[in-house]
Chain A
């Protein structure tokens, strides 16, 4: 056979191992954030749900204000405010069943409280008397997580374990826009999709990672688009529309519970206050930008809908505010008491049984404390 004859017999073929995978089209997010309030769909929303969301939003806003006030009084070491993001926080907690798990980041104290954790215990980390103030198993709320996105693989592992056990448990994990740049975000989404783990990833895109705007964080069309690369659906939603948030997260939870695998939800919202009480947001954004977002306030949006439909009047608003005031007063009163500290706790639960070395160090601290007590009395 001549060379030309060989060439004639040659038929280009695709690489043998290549097969078409998932069709990306159904995974793509909407072109614009999904909204309910201010659209025709709002009329279909359940009045009971609207009232419930409203009451929680008002409580959440008040809780934020009280916690920030406590930082000024020196009662909290630091508080990362979620003012403006209350709809995300509240919806994340309300869409879950009792048996489900919530994996919050450090800005998600509100979601933790809305889930039922004691408001003071939820602030233990930020007061600084311990790291986690609540028993995660009691409310199925993981510890507030500070290292960004590192809680996301935990949510995947837990959901995977539940599924292996045959329990229809869903894990909802919360992260910010900055956190989506972390490697753990990528690894968690990839694991979740490969394992088809029942997880909902909620990204609160509040515009900033401390001072760095989203444009310096990602070149993706939207954060929700990132889902497609993992083979899971991405949903883009107005994070200040509590009803839209509730709908989208509920749908994602249902999908996960039914065995459909994970969903990535990007909530478009805005951090109206500075990163924490220690931050100065004037250095990186304009008042005009903040004002524009204040006019798209989650409580106002819902209040307008409720009033328009005759589901809320002056008395209702007052009642919601009084309820929130009670929460704040309780928080204030309890946080104004000094926490009970026992230095010997430092050595408790480092291991199930303290090592010989820790036993020695514990004895050393005890002796120091005794000497201190003798010296002052």
Chain B
């Protein structure tokens, strides 16, 4: 798998490289947002883009998320391909009306005359010690809006491949970047970028036979670690794309293992796990040995940083839930 050419890169570097390559390949790609220019973004994900492509291509906007996304709509109407950075998950909320009332439905409303190829990058999730309003898992809001694609990478290679696909997509994509994985490293060579990943395909990250852990984004490393626990042989599915949802890959895995657990940071009530569990139940009922369980964040406002570890699903909580998948009958 590894060759001498590979060197470690962070997810943040892969994302930067994806935008840089997209901008170099397509002059209509414009990056915009708060602090994305001179500073390179608060997470440095747009580092160097303004310098390389000029401030007209990587623009520091006024501090107004609805205005940023609304302006991006107009830019897309004129043929540009805006890549919008929302500085943090919770700071994207002022842009909700633009996202829901315009971005998601402009193609449908105009019978295809006016698609909006906009990528909305949102750093999301907790685990970085952020104070209030800096750690939300907002994916359920986006998933509930028809017309949006909702994508979230969990690996360095996917960060590149999926962001390239998002920018190339003629549909709007909410691109959720797991903040706590920004500095995760992998042996990925930024000079030989991997192929662009198609949006909408989940992937089995670790094959196993006893149960399927269905997860995405920041919870993938948790699940992979849990899967190494002794006594279990767990399969881990990385969804990568919440919309469109890859029923095929997920259900094929669950039919093989007969048990499924959905793991995410987002709150459980009304969260993505409910939808996923229902889909699995509807399609795999006769293959299931136990109800599909959810391991999620608690249904509380995101906790202060000194308490967040109690909220975030960790390896132990995942393994406890695996233990509750009705193994008695088999023993």
Contacts and interface: CB of A to CB of B under 8 A. Distances in A.
Q: Decide if A and B are genuine partners.
A: yes
Interface of A: 130-132, 135-137, 142-143, 147, 150, 152-162, 164-165, 171, 183-184, 186-188, 190-191, 194, 345, 348-352, 355-357
B323 interface: no
A157 B70 contact: yes
Contact of B111 (A188, A348, A355): A348
B79 to A, nearest CB: 7
23 contacts: A132-B110, A136-B114, A137-B113, A153-B70, A156-B67, A156-B71, A157-B71, A157-B74, A158-B75, A159-B74, A160-B75, A161-B79, A186-B64, A187-B64, A187-B70, A188-B67, A191-B71, A348-B111, A351-B171, A351-B244, A356-B200, A356-B244, A357-B245
Main secondary structure of the interface of A (DSSP, over half): helix
Contact of A351 (B111, B149, B247): B149
Contacts of B114: 136-137, 143
Contacts of A183: 66, 94
B74 A351 contact: no
Interface of B: 56, 61-62, 64, 66-67, 69-80, 82, 94, 97-98, 101-102, 105-115, 146-147, 149, 169-171, 200, 243-248
A312 to B, nearest CB: 40
Shortest 5 CB-CB contacts between residues of A and residues of B: A157-B74, A153-B70, A187-B67, A157-B71, A355-B244
Interface centre among B77, B109, B113 (most CB of A within 10 A): B77
Nearest to A189: B67
A188 B74 CA distance: 11
Given A142-B77, A156-B74, A183-B94, A132 B109 contact: yes
A358 B139 CA distance: 20
A157 B72 contact: yes
Nearest to B100: A147
Nearest to A125: B109
Contacts of A155: 74
B67 A184 contact: yes
Contacts of B94: 183
A153 B112 CA distance: 21
B115 A352 contact: yes
A135 B62 contact: no
Nearest to A158: B74
B101 A147 contact: yes
Contacts of A345: 111
A153 B109 contact: no
A120 to B, nearest CB: 15
Contacts of A357: 244-245, 247
B74 A160 contact: yes
B70 to A, nearest CB: 3
Contacts of B170: 352
B78 A158 contact: yes
B70 A350 contact: no
Nearest to A135: B113
Contacts of B97: 147, 150, 184
A165 B101 contact: no
Most buried by A among B56, B98, B115: B98
Contacts of B71: 153-154, 156-157, 160, 191
B67 A136 contact: no
Given A156-B71, A162-B78, 12 more contacts: A131-B108, A131-B110, A142-B77, A158-B78, A161-B77, A161-B79, A348-B108, A349-B112, A350-B146, A355-B244, A356-B245, A357-B244
B115 A150 contact: no
A159 B73 CA distance: 11
A61 to B, nearest CB: 29
Nearest to B149: A351
B60 to A, nearest CB: 10
Contact of A190 (B64, B247, B248): B64
Contacts of A352: 107, 115, 169-171
B326 to A, nearest CB: 29
A349 B107 contact: yes
B199 to A, nearest CB: 10
B70 A351 contact: no
Given A147-B101, A356-B247, A132 B64 contact: no
A150 B94 CA distance: 12
Contacts of B98: 150, 153, 184
B110 A153 contact: no
Contacts of B102: 147, 150, 154
Contacts of A159: 74
Given A136-B114, A349-B112, A190 B62 contact: yes
Given A136-B113, A150-B98, A194-B62, A161 B74 contact: yes
A313 B284 CA distance: 80
Contacts of A130: 109, 111
Contact of B70 (A136, A154, A355): A154
Nearest to A199: B74
B163 to A, nearest CB: 18
A130 B108 CA distance: 10
A153 B67 contact: yes
Contact of B66 (A187, A348, A355): A187
